[in-house]
Amino acid sequence: MKNTAEIGVLVTASAIFSIFISYFVGKHVDKFDPKKMILWGVRTASICCFTRPLFLHPIIIAATDAINKIVDPIFRIPYDKARYKLVSENKEFTRQATIKQFVQELYYTATVIIILLITLFYSQPSKEFFIVFFLISAASMLFMQKMASVHFRRRDRKAILKEEKNGVMEEVLEEAS
């Protein structure tokens, strides 16, 4: 029971700390380089995701989850800010962003269904089960990203050609750099 209490305190503390981090990042997001914040946050979150299946101790899993909750606002807020700017300026991008969000939600739903199905087959999950599960999840996420990126590249070519015809290609390139 002591272990459960420790995990509860850790998760609660990380959630509260995440709220304060979100507030701080939101107030000071313009003072830091967004590219560095996004890169640092994504790398740290990736390390946490790969650490979870390797160590099945509840404290380590809760600690990686806590780190993930703290790191999430550090890269999510600058990313959302940049994405909102692109969406508000480019109507074609709005459609692409909607499709991408749909694909992401579909992926998350499929992952939950796969978890439930695999859990039904295994009454006593083992370390190998978790490793295989995370490998399958990573492979499916890469597959979904590949499908979405192929679709977006086709749409981007059409949008670029349309923008070239309208004579605004220079403005788009200046905004991107």
| Average pLDDT per block of 10 residues along the chain, 177 residues long | 70 78 76 81 79 75 77 80 74 69 73 70 67 70 58 53 50 45
The torsion angle over the Cα atoms of residues 99, 100, 102 and 104, rounded to 10 degrees, is 170
> What pLDDT is stored for residue 170 in this prediction?
47
Q: Could you tell me which of 19, 157, 4, 25 has the C-alpha nearest to residue 81?
A: 25
For the purposes of burial, counting CB atoms within 10 Å of the CB of 105, is it exposed (0-12), middle (13-18) or buried (19 or more)?
Answer: exposed
> What pLDDT is stored for residue 143 in this prediction?
64
> What pLDDT is stored for residue 162 in this prediction?
55
Positive or negative CA dihedral for 112, 59, 71, 16?
A: positive
> What pLDDT is stored for residue 140 in this prediction?
66
Q: How many helices (H) and strands (E) does the chain have?
A: 6, 0
pTM equals 0.47
> What pLDDT is stored for residue 110 in this prediction?
76
